[in-house]
């Protein structure tokens, strides 16, 4: 069996979701529930933080939000610190 992937997502200039895009994201996440182990989300706004928390039930992953200034901590959490 393959090990789950580790993923970092950087949200830059994120202004929110459109319904179609949100549906696509949720569908992608549900179809690949077992593909990802940990997902670190780097963002700057409260909306991005809440979006990350709301996405947790739709993934089979450990999902955590990090502010932009904590990117090093995100890499460490993913187990990929240099």
Which of the two residues, 75 and 30, has the higher pLDDT score? Answer: 75
Threshold 0.95, pTM exceeds: no
Residue 80: what pLDDT?
85
* Three-state SS letters, 22-57: HHHHHHHHHHCCCCEEEEEEEECCHHHHHHHHHHHH
Residue 59: what pLDDT?
76
Query: Can you give the residue ranges of every domain in the chain?
Result: 1-12+30-82
* Burial class of residue 74 in the structure, from the number of CB atoms within 10 Å of its CB (0-12 exposed, 13-18 middle, 19+ buried): buried
* Cα torsion angle, 22, 17, 8, 73, sign: negative
Does the pLDDT value for residue 56 go beyond 70? yes
Residue 20: what pLDDT?
63
Residue 48: both structure tokens together: 């991005």
């Amino acid at each position: 069996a393959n090990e789950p992937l580790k993923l970092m997502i950087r949200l830059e200039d994120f202004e929110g979701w459109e319904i179609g895009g949100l549906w696509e994201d949720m569908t992608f996440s549900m179809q690949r529930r077992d593909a990802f182990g940990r997902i670190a989300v780097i963002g700057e706004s409260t909306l991005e933080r809440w979006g990350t928390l709301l996405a947790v039930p739709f993934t089979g992953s450990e999902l955590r939000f990090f502010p932009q200034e904590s990117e090093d901590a995100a890499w460490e959490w993913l187990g990929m610190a240099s």
